Structure 1
């Protein structure tokens, strides 16, 4: 008998989905119906999915229609054991990692999903309002689409047959941001019904949502340190190269619409069609203000040294030598001590407006049919996806000399700067600085996939045989126009007032709390930089022609990729000593044929480059579950998984640009069409205990990854100019091991209203290490993986009783590094014994300090149809603090937003 899980509210997955899940697990025992209502119901449904899945799975189930437990998909994923996230410049949670890896295969209702020409999907592009459920599958099986060595994240949408009666749900929310002090709207509507017709039962569903968000994220930074022997003739000390900050601010909208149709033609045969659109529209800007201390004619008065001293190699310009300078031994050895406070006079400063227009459009559609017979199930489907991202970036810098700048690089683990009189707040004496940069780019990805899957159930210890085939035709394309030109006449030579630009050119930026006490400063007006008239006027001043620049042929690449895959998998079940052992064993062979073409500038000549590559892999898996009595079970899972290289890494062309800012390194990048797929041998062992009001689960995992891609940066001389060129190589490998512990329970045994309390939590210890070749390109060998905290936990307190529900969750992660700046010019400690070795360049990383965030929500059911709720994210105002290499080299201090919400949901 199939195991049935029925959910009486639409906040859970459908009965068909539950049956499909039961078939996947091969279970034959009956389970009681579970009624999903609110927080408790969603947690119990997620626990049941975890319990019954053949893989190691952690799930998130919506508490009700349009009510995911967190405001975004990425925010909800951070609650899953082993998942870590970070905060983007627009204050959204981004960069989802599963067990330290970003190599996640994302599917939407089982279909491959990606963003533009990437292998990954940007989770923030799908509003949580649309979701019914998310499964984070950490141990793969042969029937899942290959590509996720981190795991598979399956996003599930509502379907018409999830509902027994006509349903309409309207949600409205007001979100208040403390950084911008604005209230923003968020709306959603779901409509669904089903009818008996002459051709069978027909169901239709439409779900639309829209949100608008104003944001501001002020940042203060203290970048690299420089030897004061350069310019200031004070050997033995170093101070920060510049003092600056940036405020990322703007507005974005996220429209979303999905529709689904189901036709149950007979008891066994169903036809369906699904479609979804998600979009992103944004006008935003980064307003930089920066004072540069090592330009000519600047004076300094140093404060007392901090006592943090070390031996360093110093180039003639007071920085870490690059590869060319190392080879020529063009450096000196200096004992340097960090100075945290200083006063600079007559320094040059600039205010920069980086205006952006951004637009994303994701479309995915599918048609298919499924047959579910007594023993045989068949499913055939054709799906299509198109994903496009366009961005226009227009950058102009202005500036002047600043009489006095006071610097403190270690104020509460961040920089604090003051320029008396706030000189950048006035247009008087403002010059054009650095240059004008135009960066227009467009990325597109498309996919057509055909799949056929079948399952045949058998009355034997072999309970089923699964088989399937899949063909995918993927395309990717990228174009860019990047033009950079220095200010007319040179830096600080052309007064803005002499160009004819008037008041319409200036705007006041939002202040940065740690610079001049948060006073506003003038920048080029981002709206002026976005206007056609404003752009053309500035192009004339800088010596460009009017109109947007054409896409550069040397920055174009395109790829076509055909993938053929099949799988064969068998389910089994047998009794041993009164216990049950079940699972699946399978294999998935795949073959990829790829053509990628691009171009590069070689000795000033445009040179087309193309490459054809083929790779084939056979991916076996073995999964076993040992059911010990009613409450205990253990699992063992092994799978070989793969990850194909990203299209941007495969691009055979090379591009580079000369920087107009003297404090920015000339840089470029190149791809490598010969990159091989990454291969992982993955092992999971778990022990789980389920009881009436909760569960406890623990597990260990191990990943051995080969041919991991590392982007190595080396100094290359092109046409007499030195550039730091980044190139990807298969020189690395990685090992991951860790422990995950999770659990939840409700205190049903307490009297009265106290019985509504519950708790949940999870903890992950992650031990990662980069291995592989000992080469200059693999400078991270022996270090953990980028972006991975060793310790991560969630702790939550819950309450649900008499229509009232509440949740308070604290999420913590320990320090991690988010940037490899080994190839940069930051001074760093060296081993004196290796000082003369030109191949020795100590690894230098940017670290993020440990931090935690507290989120909370409270909701109340006014009636069976009307619910109101309030909530807050990051209510304690946690900040992002980072440093370079050594903890006393403070770097960024970022003001993560706190957002408070009030919402109402009405169901008819």
Structure 2
């Protein structure tokens, strides 16, 4: 029997049983986070059977234990399959950002971004997540997702990761929904002020940077009702450095060196991503209890990002005329490959003027190539590059709403407006020189290394301008006006309550870009830097260094601060022959989108007895939606921008059904079905085409385009769980199955435009994919142990995910989905007693691939019986397994003062990747270890 049949059978059988039986509803457990000033007796956990603990068995919980047990309550009583994170108290979230906190949730995987922040959140291997804040949709600029790292953990009261959908939830996340809940004034009993301060020490930079937070709230009794106000402000500044070492593309040695039978590296190099970023954040709430039935509120949220940063590249290119190679060492990894005259993999060419318009392969020969593990090159060309950037993000969200509740009737209305903008200015200058010798190791079991005798790239003499000057100025923005109305009427009996509601959202998104790329004056490696007599004396500056390059010795690059200055930019523009001043946004690189979404829902909650101790309840609902979208862009025809516009309308009907059986004694089971939808991102829908001719002779021309014909992704989602809750913890097993249609991916293919060949990246609907798996999670504290040992506890979760592309006509047929690790787990040791709270957590994920490198020109294995087929063998960039160990320790000096220390990635895990075959190493990236110390004071 298939996974789908099993899951559907579980939902159907429970649903059929529920139609024949009835029982009264038990009162729900309060799911709100603990108020700041609750006494210990107020925060006791209600046991799973909804019975209060006896006087002989008091439960007093605080801190980490309080947050874990409240999260278990939410999981137990939620209408959906939910896992939650609760801030055990204001300012006590142990992780610095929302993304970092989410990695502890069962089924959630994360990646590390270029600035060493936790980012790239996935739920059960899928990135298609809808983010809401207090139930309102939240996004970043022109995208569909929210950058979780923009919201610090100190701003949060709670995060719910909702893995199964119901009709009352906003549509848009086939992976799930993350609901970020902020603190509100009415959550507090007394006037409260909380101040937090933390110092963060990054190992890669050896600097200490600040992280600050402030919260103040109060409630007043007035003649017109109770009024509460809260403000929360946070700010952080972070220095970072993330070194990379890479061996990107293999190339047949026959072309340049007359060394048949070897796959040599085309280039070898690395980079430092380094700089500083700041994150300001503020949120506020105003609540007015106008009467016992009516509450009126206003909420506001601002998140920001500011950064001056740079990528410092250092690279040696081996396939230049005059370069020599010797001391070649290969291993036993040999393969047949199709090879062009230039030593690359042949591309599939799509040209309407050749081969009757049918795709065809570039000319090639078949060669047997062996992997080169080390070699020495002489008379090669090396270059360094400064890619200087200035970036800024501003997200604003404001909302007004009301809650009305009288007897069995509830009515909620919410009206919100969001505005989000992102700007980035990138200015790139490359310099280079010939070098006498470089000794390269491509694979030493740890990813490779190289050594240049004398470190010539740290000598300021002999540099030339090379490759070119690149300006990339972008601005993206988005806004949305949304209105939502929800009503609920409690009936009682078999049909416990009826919910109806509707939502309207008016969304717009814009993107502008100026991309200017011009070759070096006089050509590559022709004009010495000394010819630019107007450059300052500090034009060349030192980089931090890369561990696998010259043992971490620094090199010289153009000064990134000078490249960020108006004076520096204009001098170099004039020297390269470009107009002065910032380039104007280009019509062919712009899109403007307008989208209106209409949604309504009706949902019934049922509650049915199955005897004296067993009860079944659940939801049955449907959510019809309609989306009307227009997106305008431009494409180049003979070098002239030509406007292109596309309009689409999508109508979807999204049903859901769920059942929960409460067997009593803390044991319960669930079965859920829902249909979910994910609309394409606006950038992916852009009908325009953008491309550029490369000035680097070792890089092929490239470009990107959208696809206005993209269809929304859809998923039939099935979930089943078995959960057992006991006084000190819980155990849960969940099985899930997702049948996904019209999955969207982006890949590159060769296209001929105006006589030039470009690798153009386009998104497309994959066709079909499926994802299935099992989650196991649990937590407990060892209260039965004597004395101090009773403070120990453990928690853990393991997720097995099996995914597959099932579209037979796709080159990824049979592959897993991008970003999906098969094995994932968290294992944590806890201790809380005598004012001490500690947490030691190890987070692991197995191999996954984070990119489709098929469009690159790397030589690759080809099956003998497919040599003459017009296709490109798949090459994926796989990330090797890895794990991170994190530690947090907090000590309460008294009820108002808490001291904290901690560390993330304290075992110094690195990102390591390879091309398709494990011996074709690609990247080693040095993830940082961050050590923190801080204080929290409450008044």
- Shorter-chain TM-score: which interval? over 0.9
- 3-state secondary structure, aligned to 2:711: coil
Q: Is the 8 A contact 2:688 2:705 kept in 1?
A: yes
Given candidates 282, 297, 304, the residue that maps to 1:272 is 297
Contact persistence 1:13–1:162 (CA under 8 A): no
Displacement of 1:848 in angstroms is: 0.5
Distance 1:606 1:771 in 2: 38
- Aligned counterpart in structure 2 of residue 498 of structure 1, from 520, 527, 531: 531
Counterpart of 1:49 in structure 2 is: 74
**Cα distance in 2 for residues equivalent to 1:824 and 1:399:** 24
Deviations 1:786-807 (A, max 9, x none): 1111000000000000101100
1:605, 1:808 → 2: CA distance?
A: 60
Separation in 1 of the partners of 2:114 and 2:312? 12
Q: Alpha carbons of 1:13 and 1:588: their partners in 2 closer, same or farther (altered >3 Å)? A: farther
Given candidates 364, 387, 392, the residue that maps to 2:397 is: 364
Match of 1:173 in 2: 198
| SS of alignment partner, residue 539 of structure 1 | helix
- Are the counterparts in 2 of residues 731 and 773 from structure 1 also a CA contact under 8 Å? no
In the other structure, the counterpart of 1:332 is 365
Give a deviation string over 1:443-495, Cα, whole Å, max 9, x none: 00100001110110012211100000110000000000000000010000000
Is 1:415 matched up with 2:448? yes
Listed as ranges, the matches of 1:632-643 within 5 Å are 632-643=667-678
Aligned with 2:154 (options 129, 137, 145):
129
More displaced, 385-394 or 672-681? Answer: 672-681
Residue 79 of structure 1 pairs with residue 104 of structure 2: yes
Q: Report whether the alignment pairs 1:520 with 2:554.
A: yes
1:694 aligns with 2:729: yes
Q: Retained in 2: the 8 A contact 1:12–1:132?
A: no
Cα distance in 2 between the residues matched to 1:98 and 1:716: 35
Q: How far apart are 1:324 and its partner, in Å?
A: 2.9
Q: 8 Å contact 2:109–2:125 — kept in the other structure?
A: yes
Local SS of the residue matching 2:767: strand
- Give the match for residue 483 of structure 2: 450
Map of 1:736-775 to 2, 5 A cutoff? Answer: 736-774=771-809
Query: 1:602 deviation in Å?
Result: 1.7
The equivalent of 1:428 in structure 2 is 461
Q: Show CA shifts across 1:819-849 (max 9, x none).
A: 1011110111100111111x22211111100
Aligned to 2:255: 230
Q: 1:330 to 1:467 in 2, by over 3 A?
A: same
Counterpart Cα distance in 1 of 2:37 and 2:87: 6
- Of 794, 799, 804, 2:831 maps to 799
1:70: how far off? 1.7
Q: Deviations over 1:305-324 (max 9, x none)?
A: 11111100011111111113
Matches within 5 A, 1:4-83: 4-5=29-30, 9-10=34-35, 37-83=62-108
State the secondary structure of the residue aligned to 1:497. Answer: helix
Asked if 1:821 is matched to 2:846, the reply is no
Are the aligned partners of 1:12 and 1:133 in contact in 2 as well (CA < 8 Å)? Answer: no
Contact 2:37 2:190 in 1 (8 A): no
Which residue of 878, 885, 903 corresponds with 1:854? 885
Alpha-carbon distance between aligned partners in 2 of 1:348 and 1:564, rounded to the nearest angstrom: 58
User: How far does residue 731 in structure 1 lie from its aligned partner after superposition?
Assistant: 3.6
Structure 2: distance between partners of 1:110 and 1:898? 34
Quote how far apart the aligned CAs of 1:710 are: 2.5
1:599–1:654 Cα contact (<8 Å) kept = yes
The structure-2 alpha-carbon separation of the partners of 1:351 and 1:292, relative to structure 1 and needing over 3 Å to count, comes to: same
Candidates 76, 93, 105, aligned match of 2:130: 105
Q: Deviations over 1:706-750 (max 9, x none)?
A: 111122322111111000112222242110000000000000000
Give me the TM-score of the superposition, normalised by structure 2: 0.94
**Structure-2 change in CA distance of 1:8 and 1:538 (3 Å):** closer
Aligned to 2:695: 660
In structure 2, which of residues 918, 921, 928 is the aligned counterpart of residue 890 of structure 1?
Answer: 921
Q: Deviations over 1:482-518 (max 9, x none)?
A: 0000001000000000111242311111111111111
Structure 2: unaligned runs, 5 residues or longer: 1-25, 351-358
**Of 855, 862, 874, the match for 2:905:** 874
Counterpart position of 2:15: none
Establish whether residue 323 from structure 1 lines up as the match of residue 348 from structure 2: yes
CA contact (8 A) 1:92 1:124 kept: yes
Cα 1:8–1:451 change in 2 (3 A) is closer
SS of equivalent residue, structure 2 residue 538: helix
Cα distance in 1 for partners of 2:580, 2:86 equals 53
Q: Deviations over 1:273-326 (max 9, x none)?
A: 000100000000000000000011101103321111110001111111111398
> Match for residue 568 of structure 2?
534
Contact 1:106 1:152 in 2 (8 A): yes
Superposed counterparts of 1:217-256, under 5 Å: 217-256=242-281
Higher relative contact order, chain-length normalized (CA < 8 Å, sep 6+): 2
Alignment of structure 1 residues 832-851 onto 2, 5 Å: 832-837=864-869, 839-851=870-882
Instruction: Report what 1:197 is aligned to.
Output: 222
Kindly indicate whether residue 332 of structure 2 is the aligned counterpart of residue 307 of structure 1: yes
Does residue 547 in structure 1 map to residue 572 in structure 2?
Answer: no
C-alpha distance in structure 1 between counterparts of 2:768 and 2:207, whole Å:
47
Q: Structure 1 residues 384 and 349 mapped into 2: Cα distance closer, same or farther (>3 Å)?
A: same
1:400 to 413, 428, 433: 433
Q: 2:356 matched to which residue of 1?
A: none
For the residue of structure 2 that corresponds to 1:410, the secondary structure is coil
How far apart, CA to CA, are the structure 2 residues paired with 1:107 and 1:692?
32
CA contact (8 A) 1:684 1:700 kept: yes
3-state SS of paired residue (2:742):
strand
SS of the aligned residue for 2:820 comes to coil
Q: Are the equivalent residues in 2 in contact too, given 1:9–1:37 (CA < 8 A)?
A: no
Shift of 1:224: 1.0
* CA distances 1:528-579 after superposition (whole Å, capped 9, x unpaired): 0000000000000110011000000111101010000000001110101231
Q: Deviations over 1:744-774 (max 9, x none)?
A: 0000000000000000000000000112250
Q: 1:615 to 1:8 in 2, by over 3 A?
A: closer
> Does the aligned pair in 1 maintain the 2:33–2:86 contact within 8 Å?
no
1:344 equivalent in alignment to 2:369: no
The 2-side partners of 1:114 and 1:59 are apart by 21
Distance of 1:229 and 1:259 partners within structure 2: 66
CA contact (8 A) 2:385 2:557 kept: yes
Contact 1:11–1:62, Cα closer than 8 Å, also in 2: no
Contact in 1 for aligned 2:325/2:375 (Cα 8 Å):
yes
Cα separation, partners in 2 of 1:736 and 1:488, compared to 1, 3 Å: same
Match of 1:674 among 699, 702, 709: 709
Aligned equivalent of 1:151: 176
Q: Which moved more, 1:592-601 or 1:70-79?
A: 70-79
Instruction: Mark the CA change 1:404 to 1:12 in structure 2 (over 3 Å): closer, same or farther.
Output: farther
Q: Distance in 2 between matches of 1:836 and 1:362?
A: 53
How far apart are 1:663 and its partner, in Å?
A: 1.8
Corresponding residue to 2:718 among 672, 680, 683: 683
Corresponding position: 1:788 with 2:788:
no
In structure 2, the partner of 1:576 is: 610
Aligned partners of 1:93 and 1:124 also within 8 Å:
yes
CA distance in structure 2 between the partners assigned to 1:12 and 1:584 by the alignment = 35
Residue matched to 1:600: 635
Shift of 1:327: 2.2
Pick aligned residue for 2:545 from 505, 511, 519: 511
